[in-house]
Amino acid sequence: MIEIHGNVERTRCNNPACSLKPYIDKEPHQDLPMCSLCGSLLRPDTVLFGEHLPIQEEWLVKKALRNCDLFIAIGTSGTVSPVSNYVRSADYAGARTILINLEPMEPKNPYFHEEYLGLAEEILPLMFDIK
């Protein structure tokens, strides 16, 4: 699994020059948390609109798509590039492509072979027989 847009449970420093490694942070904060190394604000380790995708993760996705046999997109409008093009690459590689969303994708993307509507936390365990 490659978390191309990051992980909201990880926290990272907002200063790109800071050496603080992203870490799991599930603690509630009364005030905005500050970095212990440089004093900058901390933020969720996610890609926000207008920000570039992490180069390493994007490279890993492109490499994985060449040999992909299963591609699952969870919670997407399917309209923002470059991620919106990944399903096409997976389809070309012969992968089974699945969309899990709360609402149907409109217009329907022909590269998704299957579409499941509902909460990912309920659908994924059923798909993979996880109890």
| Catalytic residue set | 5
Is 45:12 a contact under the CB 8 Å cutoff?
yes
Residue ranges for the known binding site for Zn(2+) are 13, 18, 35, 38
CA–CA dist 76, 111 (Å, integer): 14
How far is the C-alpha of 70 from the C-alpha of 13, rounded, in Å?
33
Closest CA to 12 of 38, 3, 30: 38
Place of tokens 């991620």: 83
Known binding residues are: 13, 18, 35, 38
